[in-house]
Amino acid sequence: MKVVPLGAGQDVGRSCVLVTVGGKTIMFDCGMHMGYNDERRFPDFNYITTTGDFTSRIDAVVITHFHLDHCGALPHFTEQRGYHGPIYMTPPTKAICPILLEDYRKITVERKGETGFFTSQHIKDCMKKVVPLHLHETVWVDDELELRAYYAGHVLGAAMVYARCGNESVVYTGDYNMTPDRHLGAAWIEKVRPDVLITETTYGTTIRDSKRARERDFLEKVHNCVLRGGKVLIPCFALGRAQELCILIETYWERMGLTVPVYFSAGLTEKANRYYKLFINWTNQKIKESFVDRNPFDFKYIKPWNRDYVDLPGPMVLFATPGMLHIGTSLEVFKKWAPDERNMLIMPGYCVAGTVGAKVLSGMKVVDVDQYTKVNVNIDVQNLSFSAHADAKGIMELIRQASPRNVVLVHGEKSRMSYLKSKVMGEFGCPCYDPANGELLDIETNRDIKALMSDQLFQESWAKEQQRRQAESSDSAEPISQLPVRGVLLLGDDGKRLTRLLDPSEFDLDQVSEVTHSAKDNEMSIDSTDVKSEPVTAKNDAVEQAPDTIVFSTRKVFDKSAVRKRMGLKDTDDVSEAVLKAIGELLALDPAQTVRNSKSADGSCTLSVGNSVKITAQPANDDSLPLLSLDWAWNEEELATNTLAIVNRVLG
Where in the sequence numbering do the catalytic residues fall?
Answer: 200
Crossing angle of helices 120-127/91-105, nearest 10°?
170
Q: Which residues contact 185 (CB under 8 A, 6 or more apart)?
A: 151, 153, 283, 284, 285
Q: What is the DSSP letter of 203?
A: B
What distance in Å separates the CA atoms of residue 69 and residue 7, rounded to the nearest whole number? 10
243, 272 in Cβ contact below 8 A? Answer: yes
| Cβ neighbours, 10 Å, residue 459 | 11
> Which own/partner contact pairs does 439-443 have at CB distance under 8 Å and 24+ positions apart?
439/4, 439/5, 439/9, 440/2, 440/3, 440/4, 441/2, 441/3, 441/4, 441/408, 442/1, 442/2, 443/1, 443/2, 443/3, 443/195, 443/196, 443/406
What distance in Å separates the CA atoms of residue 535 and residue 542, rounded to the nearest whole number? 9
Helix spans in 184-316 (H): 211-227, 241-256, 268-278, 285-291
Q: Which residues contact 272 (CB under 8 A, 6 or more apart)?
A: 96, 99, 238, 239, 242, 243
Nearest to 197 by CA among 494, 392, 409: 409
What does the angle CA 556 – CA 561 – CA 567 come to, to the nearest 5 degrees?
85
Helices (H) then strands (E): counts for the chain: 16, 32
SS3 content of the chain, % helix, strand, coil (to 5): 30, 20, 45
> Which own/partner contact pairs does 81-85 have at CB distance under 8 Å and 24+ positions apart?
81/45, 81/52, 81/54, 82/52, 82/53, 82/54, 82/55, 83/54, 83/55, 83/58, 84/55, 84/129, 85/54, 85/55, 85/58, 85/59, 85/60, 85/61, 85/129
Q: What is the DSSP letter of 383?
A: E
What distance in Å separates the CA atoms of residue 525 and residue 515, rounded to the nearest whole number? 6
Q: Which residues contact 360 (CB under 8 A, 6 or more apart)?
A: 325, 345, 347, 367, 377, 381
Nearest to 313 by CA among 295, 349, 337, 284: 337
305, 231 in Cβ contact below 8 A? Answer: no
Residue 264 pairs with which residues in a beta bridge? Answer: 304, 319
419, 426 in Cβ contact below 8 A? Answer: no
Q: What is the DSSP letter of 595?
A: E
Give the sheet arrangement for strand 452-453, strand by strand: 452-453, 500-502, 488-490
What distance in Å separates the CA atoms of residue 151 and residue 68, rounded to the nearest whole number? 19
Residue 324, CB half-sphere, CA atoms under 13 Å: how many? Answer: 19
275, 92 in Cβ contact below 8 A? Answer: yes
